[in-house]
Amino acid sequence: MKTSKLLLAGLLAVSALTGTASAANEIYILGAPAFRQIGTTALIKALTAASPNGATITEAWTGGGSLTSANSVNIYGGSVGGNAVVVHVTYSGSTGAVQSLAAGTTGTVGTNVFPGLFLLDTATGTSNPDPTVSTNPASDFVTANANFGLTDTFQATTPFHGTNKLTGSSITYGTLQEFGSPNAIIAYKFVAPVGTPAGLNLTYSQAQNLFTSGIQPLATITGKIADEGTLVYAVGRDPASGSRYIFLAESGIGASNDPALVQYEVSTSGTAITGYTESPAETINHISYPLGNTGYSSFSKVLTGLEATATASTGYFITYVGAPDAKTALTQATPSVEVAWNGNYLGDGYGTGSASASFEGANNTAPTNLAEGKYTFWSYIHVPYPTGLGTSNASAYAFAQDVYNDLGTDATTGAVLVSDTQVTRAGDGNVAPVTETYY
């Protein structure tokens, strides 16, 4: 069962959500899987700082091998403004989070809301909640309206703004609020599976050709006649993912040209890649997508392909992932291969300009290539919330602000601090202006 589809399944009436979203001490958050490591770390740090001295923070999680790689997390034992809280976060996808938060926040929507699905409270009054819930049965989850989000896209980059009929009926999406200008950044990398030739470089035009056709000869990337018979496949995320829309904006394909995207899924046997199939036709976020236009619902599924070995006879693939997840692929026992973007690597705080597993710089500083505007595949981290949250749930509003503040000041979360860079942009992607501050 694909978690991102389950998390946003069904148009449910507000009355069906009784006993969960209305509880004052319950805080519900939807986020982007691309920075679940950063997000969960920031949530715990912000909650610990906001809690009285001596408060015990305990966690339960599912859908991951560790707390910071889990898709669903509960955090117990903290307080906000002197009020005890239980924090529930599900990383179901950035665009899905925007849809959940923006739908139902305006009177024109009526009872059409998109609740998230959150890991059921397993604390049962004990100090050590069970962290082993991993089979994801429906009984382990509860539906609730999210209070705020941890996303990697501007709302305008997603389909969920203004009034549209993408879901089959006309919905007017409310304008989400933020506490100020984005103050933290997440970077992305292009990665290829084990066995891919090192030193590949992808340009804007090559990315556009590959991801709008789905398949290209390797020669179109390397310029080598010998590579004409070897194929490269486009692999990526489904429309619930903000990473997909960041890629669309960054590559110049354009977020509004999402229907043009063609992506494949990887077939493996043991440790070998055996072939590729077009991503299946699916309904995601209540929108129908045709064969080839969807993608993987989580990085863990992408990682299965990155861990397997590709050969010239089966063909290689290139995918886009958040830098924290790229680090996982690039530091495994047999590492995947980083692909340069327009001749540049993210690099590290020393600006080495070479392929690296790093996603933050030395001593948690910003990677030099990103900080100085040379590497452009990045997006802001957003903490969006619906209008009226401060009145409807004061604890959630205060906690969201704590998280926003922590993301912008504490580099140990893994986020790149805007204050450590010299670049800004007004929207997602390379088409938005990137400006340097001169001294």
Residues 230 and 284 in one domain: yes
Give the rounded percent of residues in the chain with a pLDDT score beyond 70. Answer: 79
Summarize pLDDT for 220-264 with one digit per residue, the tens: 999 999 999 999 999 999 999 999 999 999 999 999 999 999 999
Residues 135 and 247 in one domain: no
Backbone angles phi, psi at 207, to 5 degrees: -65, -40
Residues 215 and 141 in one domain: no
In this prediction, residue 309 has a pLDDT band, given cuts at 50, 70 and 90, of very high
Query: Could you tell me if residue 416 is inside a domain?
Result: no
DSSP tag of 82: T
Residues 177 and 290 in one domain: no
Backbone angles phi, psi at 61, to 5 degrees: -150, 165
The sign one gets for the Cα dihedral 32, 38, 40, 44 is negative
In this prediction, residue 429 has a pLDDT band, given cuts at 50, 70 and 90, of confident
What's the token pair of residue 376? 């452009």
- On the question of pLDDT at 318 being above 90, the answer is yes
Residues 254 and 282 in one domain: yes
Backbone angles phi, psi at 191, to 5 degrees: -135, 150
Beta carbons of 31 and 120 less than 8 angstroms apart: no
Domain range enclosing 243: 186-378
Query: Could you tell me if residue 159 is inside a domain?
Result: yes
Residues 217 and 96 in one domain: no
Summarize pLDDT for 2-60 with one digit per residue, the tens: 333 333 333 222 223 333 333 438 899 999 988 888 999 899 888 877 665 555 666 77
Count of CB atoms within 10 A of residue 272's CB?
14
Residues 46 and 176 in one domain: yes
Residues 197 and 328 in one domain: yes
Domain with residue 296: its CATH number is 3.40.190.10
The C-alpha atoms of residue 62 and residue 207 are separated, in whole angstroms, by 34
Give the rounded percent of residues in the chain with a pLDDT score beyond 90. Answer: 53
What are the DSSP calls for 339-364, one per residue?
EEETTB----TT---S--S-SS-GGG
Summarize pLDDT for 323-362 with one digit per residue, the tens: 988 988 999 889 999 999 999 999 866 555 667 766 666 5
Comparison of pLDDT for 100 and 11, the residue scoring more: 100
Query: Could you tell me if residue 403 is inside a domain?
Result: yes
How large is the average pLDDT for residues 152-169? 88
Rounded to a whole number of angstroms, the CA Rg of the chain reads: 21
Summarize pLDDT for 51-94 with one digit per residue, the tens: 655 556 667 776 666 778 888 888 877 888 888 888 999 998 99
Query: Could you tell me if residue 44 is inside a domain?
Result: yes
Beta-carbon-side half-sphere exposure of residue 402 (alpha carbons within 13 Å): 21
Comparison of pLDDT for 402 and 17, the residue scoring more: 402
- On the question of pLDDT at 269 being above 80, the answer is yes
Strand partners, 380: 185
What average pLDDT does the structure give for the chain?
83
Count of CB atoms within 10 A of residue 231's CB?
18
Residues 12 and 115 in one domain: yes
3-state class (DSSP) for residue 145: coil
Domains identified in the chain, total number: 2
Comparison of pLDDT for 431 and 243, the residue scoring more: 243
Residues 348 and 238 in one domain: yes
Residues 41 and 84 in one domain: yes
Which residue in the block uniquely carries the two structure tokens 């397997």?
Answer: 308
The C-alpha atoms of residue 40 and residue 57 are separated, in whole angstroms, by 13
Query: Could you tell me if residue 175 is inside a domain?
Result: yes
State the Cα angle at 435 between 386 and 247, rounded to 5°.
60
pLDDT of residue 106: 44
Query: Could you tell me if residue 125 is inside a domain?
Result: yes
The C-alpha atoms of residue 405 and residue 330 are separated, in whole angstroms, by 30
pTM of the model: 0.87
Residues 208 and 262 in one domain: yes
- On the question of pLDDT at 140 being above 90, the answer is no
3-state class (DSSP) for residue 234: strand
Query: Could you tell me if residue 86 is inside a domain?
Result: yes
What's the token pair of residue 322? 């958040």
The C-alpha atoms of residue 245 and residue 255 are separated, in whole angstroms, by 6
3-state class (DSSP) for residue 19: coil
Query: Could you tell me if residue 111 is inside a domain?
Result: yes
